[in-house]
Amino acid sequence: MKPSILVACAVFPEILDKLANHFEVSANQSDEVWTTADLATRLQGASGALTTGSERIDAALLAACPGLKICANMAVGFNNFDVPAMTAAGVLATNTPDVLTETTADFGFALLMTTARRMAESEHFLRAGLWHRWRYDMFAGAEVYGSTLGILGMGRIGQGIAKRAAHGFGMSVVYHNRNRLDAVTESACAARWVSKAELLATCDHLMLVLPYSPESHHTIGAAELALMKPTATLVNIARGGIVDDVALAAALRQGTIAAAGLDVFEGEPTVHADLLALSNVVLTPHIASATRSTRWAMAELAADNLIVYLTEGKALTPLNPQVLASKA
């Protein structure tokens, strides 16, 4: 008898067909929003689950689903996983690194450009029929070429953005990371490590690419925004919660910084009303990895993690490899 799995989100039908070769598949192709209780009910009898950031896997859910063996996140981020609790329960956690690096770096740079050059604001102006003549200062934004980019979080995506900035736009790149990069990687990225305070004070554009954790919650709040230049822009393609959205809205409203571009939000899909009311913020619905080929690669890697683990006891991209070792 085939093991049962739950696919908690809508995915490509071909991915479901692939999974059905190995498992009894229960799928959520209607993309219903489930409560925690709904998820626990649907996971009864399931050995594995394909999840997104919307499905919280914690100790309480694991206790209610003792048959669960693996949760494969269709995302590189995994702040919806309580990894220590999963490890303690003997449940493997996996994610989808690497396959979305370049696509997300492209989007991060596109969002930076859109924010700095006031492209969304000017499009809304045009569509509203307000463009009647040219003015020397009409939607004059910030320079990108030759400016200073500060990157907070210098993993794979941060490095991709740094290379685009330095080699494509002649930007001076500074970064802050919990662990400094080795000299070879710094050189490839043409990036220089600085303290967080120096990063905030010197950058013309701030790019947030750090993972979310309780320690990184509100890494950027009122105090940090006050350190930035009033002409600076902020772009967040990392995770909601890294920025204090209320403090950011106040900073944008008061002119503490010039503009922001946000692909992620606290409590998404809800967006704070103060941000929605502002014209100097570009808002996108968590789509940094949204190309068809990349989303396909993410879904396929998540599916392959389920297949390899439940049929062979192996994993391609484990977050808690201790679980594999304990079952060896």
Q: CA 141 to CA 25: how far, in whole Å?
A: 51
Query: What size, in residues, is the chain?
Result: 328
Among 24, 102, 198, 268, the active-site one is: 268
In a 10 Å sphere around its CB, with 0-12 CB exposed, 13-18 middle and 19+ buried, how is residue 274 labelled?
A: middle
Q: CA 87 to CA 64: how far, in whole Å?
A: 16
Q: CA 166 to CA 218: how far, in whole Å?
A: 28
Q: CA 262 to CA 115: how far, in whole Å?
A: 9
Residue 268: active-site member: yes
Q: CA 190 to CA 171: how far, in whole Å?
A: 9
Cβ contacts of residue 183 below 8 Å, gap of 6+?
Answer: none
Which pair of tokens denotes residue 85?
Answer: 């609790």
Residue 132: active-site member: no
Among 117, 205, 239, 295, the active-site one is: 239
Which residue type does 4 have? S
- Percent of the chain that is helix, strand, coil (3-state, to 5): 40, 15, 45
Residue 133: active-site member: no
Position of tokens 């079952």? 327
How far out from the chain centre does Cα 87 lie?
A: 23
C-alpha separations of 93 from 15, 21, 75, 98, 148 in Å: 19, 22, 12, 16, 38
Q: CA 100 to CA 33: how far, in whole Å?
A: 25
Residues tagged active-site: 239, 268, 286
